[in-house]
Amino acid sequence: MNPIFFGSADHQLFGVYHAPARARGRKGVVLCYPWGQEYLRAHRAFRFLGESLAGAGVHVLRFDYWGTGDSGGDVSEADLPTWASDVELTVHELMDIADLRRVALCGLRMGAHWAARCAVEHPAVDRVVLWDPVVDGVSYVRSLDQTPVSREGLHEVDGFTLTAAVRDGLASASADDFTRLDMPSMVLSTSEHAATDDLVSNMRALDLPVTFRMVPASPAWKEENGDFGTSGMPVSALQEITQWLSET
């Protein structure tokens, strides 16, 4: 694993590059984290996924969005369009690092939306994994335990600042982000959800090249049984993603 900073002088992002086990690997994947506490809970699974893909000969770059994690900026300066642009910036960085012409994206939960929004705009993206995607942004925002904080217009969700711009952006997420994907995509679900089934049905009705995988596994993005940071290692899901992204 190689930690790096990239981007411009006024927009520095932090990332971790996983070099492939085979020196001549020609595939690349950008991993897109979810938002908030789901980012913290999924961090370990993303590290294992990066190592798994690299072991299969894939160049991997995972990164922190602007204003989050170890990247520059403040969350008060960030919004959903910025984070979607960060995905594109990371795609270019991985292509430069590994001298690639094509790159795949893998996004978990809200990260699936930012991956999809980049994919429909960026001609170099050739595959997308939508891992336990949030299908209804309004319901997602309603599910957040929002606590008002002293600064006007700001709330806190499990220790993460939620600005009005970010809240509105999260609420805008919908299945429409996914029904424009015209490249091979895989929807991977670790539990049964009617909304996910409907999403896959709609994508198939539009003749989109979508693959669906139901892989019962621990949710990488939430705490279970009070075991923060150690539960949620969905080994079977990571194996499925690795196989699909590394196949010829």
Report if residue 169 sits inside a domain: no
Question: How far, in Å, CA of 87 to CA of 64, rounded?
Answer: 10
Q: What is the pTM of this model?
A: 0.93
Please indicate, yes or no, if residue 115 is contained in any of the structural domains.
yes
User: Which amino acid appears at position 170 of this protein?
Assistant: L
Q: What is the pLDDT of residue 230?
A: 46
> Residue 172's CB: how many other CB atoms inside 10 A?
14
pLDDT tier for residue 229 given thresholds of 50, 70 and 90 = very low
Which residues touch 147 (CB under 8 Å, ≥6 apart)?
155, 156, 157
pLDDT tens-digit profile of 175-188?
999 999 999 999 99
Question: How many structural domains does the chain have?
Answer: 1
Q: 197 lies in which domain range?
A: 2-137+175-246
- Phi, psi for 195 (deg, rounded to 5): -65, -35
Q: CATH number, domain at 208?
A: 3.40.50.1820
In a domain, residue 6? The reply is yes
Is residue 131 included in any domain, yes or no?
Answer: yes
- 152 within a domain of the structure (yes/no): no
In a domain, residue 163? The reply is no
Rg (CA), the chain: 17
